[in-house]
Amino acid sequence: MTTTQHAEPRDPLSAFHVGGIEVSERSVRAEQVLCSRFADHRGLIELPALAVLFDHAGGIPFHQVHGDPAAATLQARLSLSAHGRAQVGDTLAARADVVMHDDAWGSTTVEIRTGAGELRCVGTARNVRVGRAPVGETPSGEIGMPPATCDATVALPEPIPADLTGREVVEEIATKVREPGPLAEMLNGTVEILDGASDRDAGVRFRVQTEPWMGNMFGTMHGGVIATIVGQAGSFAGHLHAGPGQDHSIGDMAIGFYRSPAVDGGEVTVEVAPIKTGRRISSFEATMASYDDVLLSRATLDVHYH
């Protein structure tokens, strides 16, 4: 796979082409332009590519309603369900609404639809007010700025031969015979297979080298980027258990944020282990840790096979 030069991302919103943010007292609308740079190792747009849009839109309404511009808010947990698959070239529209809040906590619903109104993702964000002060500008201040345009062509991966098992595909990625896909490359990600007592117990380790553009207003990793990394790791684990030519997709992901890593070039790792594998659905647990083994995030994911 070859790529052309493109503008370096400044923050998660510019990196994932999120913009067009419109806010009211209790809701927000935002857009995302999907390009091939957000495709996975199969050339498909999966749930992880939508996580920055989901997380960012899900956080703004709670910040609006509690009315203290000096107080910062974060998401403590996200729950996302995919419905159908977005396509390269789609412009997605997110709507987020606060459905409950007090001074400390809030719950926000999020829907992401295509321009034609087709639902692609729905879920909730659990918001929390925190005492830390921001150390820099937040991308959410760019209200009304349009999404970044696809200013360069990123080639999609070569089609995967239908006779390869999922394990064979992931082994090729782990040994660098096959590219990990544009999204994983943007995340500086590499894949390792973690063998267990049997094939059913096998999982993956996804290593990511952080960069400053991944940061939030505190200078640590944006929750949407964390969810993207964890989700991409879960997708590789799901493919590991797929049969020859079998399609898979992340149906559901619930992720809790415990600590946010620095984005100073250090490494974070996500280890994904199967909870239960099946012919139509497999469930996984994914754990993100820092280079010095501090627990950062944990998620459960359901992978659907088609």
In this prediction, residue 172 has a pLDDT band, given cuts at 50, 70 and 90, of very high
d(CA 92, CA 220): 26
pLDDT at 90 over 60: yes
Place of tokens 């960069």: 211
Is the model's pLDDT at 1 over the cut of 60?
Answer: no
Residue 5, pLDDT > 90, answer no
The arithmetic mean of pLDDT across residues 29-37, rounded, is 95
Write the pLDDT tens digit of every residue in 91-112: 999 999 999 999 899 999 999 9
Q: In the prediction, which pLDDT does 132 show?
A: 64
| Paired tokens of 86 | 């977005």
pLDDT value of position 134: 59
Return the structure tokens found at 94: 């997110």
Q: Of 151 and 77, which is predicted with more confidence?
A: 77
Tokens of 256: 């809790």
Share of the chain above pLDDT 70, in %: 91
Nearest to 75 by CA among 194, 217, 209: 217
CA 268 to chain CA centroid, Å, is 15
Question: pTM of whole model > 0.85?
Answer: yes
SS3 of the chain: the string is CCECCCCCCCCHHHHCCEEEEEECCCEEEEEEECCHHHCCCCCCCCHHHHHHHHHHHHHHHHHHHCCCCCCEEEEEEEEEEECCCCCCCCEEEEEEEEEEECCCEEEEEEEEECCCCCEEEEEEEEEEEECCCCCCCCHHHCCCCCCCCCCCCECCCCCCCCCCCHHHHHHHHHCCCCCCCHHHHHCCEEEEEECCCCHHHCEEEEEEECCHHHECCCCEECHHHHHHHHHHHHHHHHHHCCCCCCCEEEEEEEEEECCCCECCCCEEEEEEEEEECCCCEEEEEEEEEECCCCEEEEEEEEEEEC
pLDDT at 269 over 50: yes
pLDDT at 141 over 60: no
| Per-residue confidence band for 221, with pLDDT thresholds at 50, 70 and 90 | very high
Instruction: Look up residue 87 and give its amino acid.
Output: Q
User: pLDDT tens digit string along 275-299?
Assistant: 999 999 999 999 999 999 999 999 9
Take residue 203 and report the two structure tokens written for it.
Answer: 């999982």
In Å, what is the CA distance from 10 to each residue of 13, 22, 25? 8, 21, 28
Q: Is the pLDDT of residue 138 over 70?
A: no
Q: Return the pLDDT at 24.
A: 87
